[in-house]
Amino acid sequence: MSTGCKRRRIASRGMAWSVAVLSVTLAGCSPTYYGLRQQGQRALLGEAYGPARYFFRQADSISPRRIDNLHDLGVCSVMLAREKFHMMNHAAAMRELDAAIAYYSRALDVYPGHIAALEGKNIALELKGQFDEALKEAEWAAEFVGPAATQFVFLASELEERGDVDGALLRYRQAVAVEPENVAARVEFARFLIRSNSESAAIVQLQAAYLLDPTDAWVTDQLAARGAVPSLAPEKPDKSK
């Protein structure tokens, strides 16, 4: 899609939602937090990020420590920044990213372990080119939020993106060590090992994930392609019969 078409589509979408914003403003009665959230989510689903942020900001003025709302404000700001970048308005994009980082930081002040807010903040930092700061955020989460597998997987992915394969390997190992029955952690570790051409180690993780959840189609396909689908333990006979 050309830049001109993109701009016309955004303008048309924004005009339609401007009517909705105006109708809420002129309605006379005070909107509720949940009503504003619903309006904002509808706008967000319709990719009308400016109007969505308007509703979420109004909701924020009513209840300023709601993690879901702060997260959605961050999402809107990141998406608006992407639109500004697409329109070659880099100064405006950077302002949107600063706003996104502020919203995500507020969410993390309320709930330091909120993975979606951590990931959103890292995306905003990376879009600003602040890669070292993004890595520090991931390292802090793994160290201070708690030894959850998701924290270690999050940090591992950040380290891998920056070329630190050994550091990523260590964090993936920690992820499956702290939560051995976490299928998602096993799968992400297996994906990493496949990317690293560590086939035998990848099969170990794939088989562990398969034994935990035989219904995972991707895991089954990967094992089948390697001729390594393990046999499931047979059910124990009912001795009462």
Q: What is the pLDDT of residues 88-142, one digit of tens each?
A: 999 999 999 999 999 999 999 988 878 778 888 988 998 898 888 878 877 776 6
- Final residue of a domain: which of 118, 141, 164? 141
Q: Is residue 207 part of a domain?
A: yes
More reliable by pLDDT, 40 or 144:
40
Could you write out the DSSP letters of every residue in 81-146? HHHHHHTT-HHHHHHHHHHHHHHHHHHHHH-TT-HHHHHHHHHHHHHTT-HHHHHHHHHHIIIII-
> According to the model, what pLDDT value does residue 231 have?
84
Question: Are residue 40 and residue 132 in the same domain, yes or no?
Answer: yes
Statement to judge: residues 48 and 111 lie in one domain: yes
Domain at 154, CATH number: 1.25.40.10
| Residues 44, 50: Cα–Cα separation, whole Å | 9
Establish if 42 belongs to a structural domain.
Answer: yes
Domain count, the chain: 2
Assess if residue 101 is contained within a domain: yes
Q: What single-letter amino acid sits at 225?
A: A
**C-alpha count within 13 angstroms, C-beta hemisphere, residue 213:** 16
Q: Is 175 part of a structural domain of the chain?
A: yes
| Residue of higher predicted confidence among 142 and 24 | 142
The set of long-range contacts for 77-85, using a CB threshold of 8 Å and a minimum separation of 24, is 77/53, 77/103, 77/124, 78/120, 78/123, 78/124, 78/127, 79/47, 79/49, 80/49, 80/50, 80/53, 81/124, 81/127, 82/127, 83/10, 83/49, 85/127
CB count within 10 Å of CB 232 equals 9
Q: 110 and 179 share a domain?
A: no
Record the pTM.
0.59
Q: Is there a contact between 177 and 148 (Cβ–Cβ < 8 Å)?
A: no
Domain residue limits at 89: 32-141
Within a domain: 22: no
In a domain, 18, yes or no: no
Helix axes 165-178, 149-161, angle to 10 degrees: 170
Question: What share of the chain in percent tops pLDDT 70?
Answer: 81
How far does Cα 148 stand from its chain's mean position?
16
| Candidate from 89-93, 176-180, 204-208, 235-239 with smallest mean pLDDT | 235-239
